[in-house]
Structure 1
Amino acid sequence: MNRLLARLNIDPYLLLLVSTVGLASIVPARGAWAGIAGGAADAGIALLFFLHGAKLSREAIIDGAKAWKLHLTVACLTFVLFPVVGLGVSVIPGLEPSLAMGLLFLTLLPSTVQSSIAFTAIAGGNVAAAVCSASFSNLAGIFITPVLTALFITGKTQGFSTDPIITIAVQLLLPFIAGHLLRPWIGGFVSRHKKLLGYTDRGSILLVVYTAFGAAVLDGLWHKVTLAELGLIAALSLGILAVIMVAGNVMGRLLGFNHEDRIVILFCGSKKSLATGVPLAGVLFAPAQVGAIILPLMFFHQIQLMVCAVLARRLAAQAEAQAAVPARAELAKAP
């Protein structure tokens, strides 16, 4: 089964997400169970950001600051060009309002960390720079995404409020800072148990998805969204990704970055984080809205993985072919 999914470039975690959506659609959390599940989801989010703080080394922050031009380029793609494209896409007529809001919201999110680094490594890019750039983007997103969301989404519909900022500070930022400050004592444990803690991360997200979709289903989500709209979301997600990737490639060349750094721009600048987006959506939006809002993000998450997997392998094959040319030339000269 895992081999088949790998051939199709399908993340097995996506199947868990889809199954969770199915479970929430059939058996949504109600009454006292909804309160218990919501409390557990909040605790899971706090734990998730605590672990993210513990994983981030201070050395990476210091070393990464040196390549500020590269990180600034990635940040411009992530927090400037992406939102501009999202604003244009979100006004397409005929799209259910919550889904349009979700498309815009996904463009306001920070980059992923693990997959950005993995694809950069596969393609032969600057892995150290990818680690720093993706980490900076994810950390900055805790501050920038809520501000952009207030400017472009919630501020227009609900008015500006300090409540989400306070919630983010208590539920996300404080655990992150606590984890980072405790890194000298727990960093070794976190590094030794990456696989186990990865299950904790993903389990927290699944719990948030279950509670969010359960609330949305009770609010009539599947009566509002059609299959045609889901297909449109997939097509728009692919279009958004294509625009950003082309723009990132052009920017990398125009700004004079070398091949390895252009790969960093390509993979770090084109990603959006499901792990950060789901908790932030839970904080920034009403419970009944969250399910529909994170639906486009789930589509985009899988599409970006599939496209980047193919692209990274192609870049790796090209690098191998180019490296083989001098070797063949030397063999030809040999007596």
Structure 2
Amino acid sequence: MKFSNPTLQRIWVHPITEFLRSLWFFYCLAIFIVIARFAPNFARDGGLIKGQYSIGYGAVAWIFLQSGLSMSTRRILANISNWRAHLTIAMMSFLLTSSIVYGFCVAIKKSNNKYIDDWVLMGIICTITCPTTVASNVIMTQNAGGNDLLCVCEVVLGNLFGAFITPALVQMYTSNNLFAFGDPSAGGSINALYGRVMKQVGLSVFVPLFVGQCIQNIFPKPTSAYIGFLKKHNIKIGSYMLLLIMFSSFSTAFYQKSFTSVSHVCIIFVCFFNLAVYLFFTGISFLVARPIWIIKLFPQEPVKGECSRAYYYSYKLFRPFYYNKKDTICIMFCAPAKTAALGVSLITSQYGTHKEHLGKLLVPLVLYQAEQVLTASIFVPILKRWARDEIEQDNINSQNENQTGVTDEFDLEKYPSSSTSDSEDQSISTIEQFTI
């Protein structure tokens, strides 16, 4: 924006003003939360605009339609085969996070603190067993310059498997006498839960992604012009849709009186506990994605015949688990994140006969969603600066491909699932950067 008045123009481009403008997402989120507080019926599930469909499906579908339009089909297929990253994120998302947080919940329960509601603890357990979020991790990974293609794959796989894994984990953690009051077996039909999850992932993630890929390959020039228009005018569709998703979640929570059904002390505890959990597992995700012991044990790529067979095969087995920076960013945003879009359905389906406690169960989930988005937004510029060398190299490769029109054939031996340290110079991560 340009002003005719020189003084106004200097104020507009001042570093402090630019910093304040960069926080527009937080301002908008605060406004939406206030609207959700005083008019919860507008965007809630089953509300005036049927938020479970117009936002739960529509907004998420638009995000993945954008992803389908901007992502290379060949590289999506390459990242689907990155089984090491899928395994790492699944182990972190479902097993490591849930088991550690469950241990904390047991300790809190044993302390018999009268201010911490037992149903809120159950909500924490349900939240931490949920799969990775559907939208925010993709947007944050794109904004940070990470491997957004791998992130899309994780969203699809994580939520499909999460429909089966999450109820099983909740059943396992609540099968003892300590949490017998929250036995999900008394809830709604698990088959209905599976049906809803498959329907939502299919219609809001897979179908728009597939449609976007079809449009991109059938009409490459109009698609390129459309993406260029969004970049030129800095139109952040993904961020706008994410605001709507959070607006719907808060509206549903306020309508069900989630924040007034428990004490203020409990709400404050959940806020700090969620923040600590997210920060802790984000740090753990970084250490798991780039374990220093691999570099120490395998400093050089072996040449067959010039090293021992043990070193050669150990290198081939373990070195790919030291991920490049762009894959590491994806892992850091995917592993600790938890979905609210599907989490609400997972909780309500499992506890269908406990409607009087449903608001308490949703408190940790709704707060975790807001805190993970706000915290991840702070990490975005830090991680983007850290991975700047890979991003610049990918931009150079992209320009070279556009000039020559030549693309390499996909070869898993040459590009081992874009997860080895050698691939930091020639990563098969996305080279078509589309910053939402």
State whether TM-score is above 0.5: yes
Partner of residue 161 from structure 2, selected from 140, 150, 164: 140
Q: Secondary structure at the match of 1:272?
A: coil
Matched, 1:106 2:88: no
The corresponding residue for 1:12 is 28
Conservation of the 8 A alpha-carbon contact between 1:45 and 1:205: no
How far has the Cα of 1:236 moved from its partner? 0.6
Q: Which residue of 2 aligns with 1:287?
A: 355
**Which of 93, 105, 116 matches 2:137?**
116
Counterpart in the other structure of 1:298: 366
Contact 1:111 1:137 in 2 (8 A): yes
* Equivalent residue number for residue 327 of structure 1: none
C-alpha separation in 2, matches of 1:167 and 1:175: 12
Q: Which letter does structure 2 place at the counterpart of 1:288?
A: E
Shift of 1:140: 2.2
Aligned counterparts of 1:196 and 1:310: Cα–Cα separation in 2:
19
Correspondent of 2:79 among 64, 75, 83: 64
Query: What's the CA shift string for 1:27-47, capped at 9, x where partnerless?
Result: x89xxxx99759956766985
SS of 1:246's equivalent in the other structure is helix
- Aligned partners of 1:241 and 1:275: how far apart in 2? 18
Q: Deviations over 1:59-83 (max 9, x none)?
A: 6875433100011101111101111
State the partner residue of 1:329.
none
CA distance in structure 2 between the aligned counterparts of 1:322 and 1:61, rounded to whole angstroms: 18
Match for residue 276 of structure 1 among 334, 342, 364: 342
1:231 paired with 2:279, answer: no
Identify if the C-alpha distance between structure 1 residues 64 and 317 changes in structure 2 by more than 3 Å, giving closer, same or farther: closer
1:170 positional shift: 3.6
Alignment of 1:17-96 (within 5 A): 17=33, 19-24=35-40, 37=47, 47=57, 51=61, 62-91=77-106, 92=108, 93=111, 94=113, 95-96=116-117
Partner of residue 267 from structure 1, selected from 305, 328, 333: 333
Alpha-carbon offset, residue 19 of structure 1: 3.4
- Offset, 1:226: 2.0
- Inter-partner Cα distance in structure 2 for 1:97 and 1:45: 31
Please identify, of 149-158 and 242-251, the stretch whose mean Cα deviation from structure 2 is larger: 149-158
TM-score normalised over the length of structure 2: 0.57
Gaps of 5+ in 2: 1-18, 216-222, 227-235, 292-320, 393-436
User: Could you tell me which amino acid in structure 2 is paired with residue 125 of structure 1?
Assistant: G
Cα-Cα RMSD? 4.5
**Residues 179-328 of structure 1: pairs in structure 2 closer than 5 A:** 210=251, 213-216=254-257, 222=260, 224-254=261-291, 255-285=321-351, 286-320=354-388
SS of the residue 1:236 aligns to: helix
Deviations 1:59-108 (A, max 9, x none): 68754331000111011111011111320232314211122112222111
**CA displacement, residues 195-237 of structure 1 (integer Å, 9 cap, x when unaligned):** 99998997687667645644446xxx62x52222211111111
Give the Cα separation in 1 of the matches to 2:186 and 2:49. 23
Cα distance change of structure 1 residues 318 and 159 upon mapping to structure 2, 3 Å threshold: closer
The more displaced of 175-184 and 139-148 is 175-184
Provide the C-alpha distance between the structure 1 equivalents of 2:97 and 2:360, rounded to a whole number of angstroms: 20
Distance, in Å, in 1 between the alignment partners of 2:327 and 2:191 is: 37
Q: CA deviation at 1:259?
A: 2.1
CA contact (8 A) 2:60 2:134 kept: no
Q: Who wins on radius of gyration, i.e. which is larger?
A: 2
Q: In 1, distance between residues paired with 2:262 and 2:241?
A: 31
Q: Alpha carbons of 1:99 and 1:320: their partners in 2 closer, same or farther (altered >3 Å)?
A: same
Q: Is the 8 A contact 2:156 2:206 kept in 1?
A: no
Question: Conserved in 1, the CA contact under 8 Å of 2:56 and 2:341?
Answer: no
How far does the alpha carbon of each residue in 1:270-298 deviate from its partner, in whole angstroms, 9 at most, with x for none?
Answer: 21122222232232223332222222222
- TM-score by structure 1 length? 0.72
Give aligned pairs, total: 313
Greater mean alpha carbon deviation, residues 15-24 or residues 74-83: 15-24
Task: Report the CA distance shift for 1:88/1:185 in structure 2 as closer, same or farther (over 3 A).
Answer: closer
User: In 2, distance between residues paired with 1:71 and 1:298?
Assistant: 26
C-alpha contact 1:234 1:299 (8 A) present in aligned 2: yes
**What is the one-letter code of the residue matched to 2:99?**
V
Unaligned runs of 5+ in 1: 325-335
- Matched residue SS, 1:10: helix
Greater Cα offset, 121-130 or 256-265:
121-130
Does residue 147 of structure 2 align to residue 126 of structure 1? yes
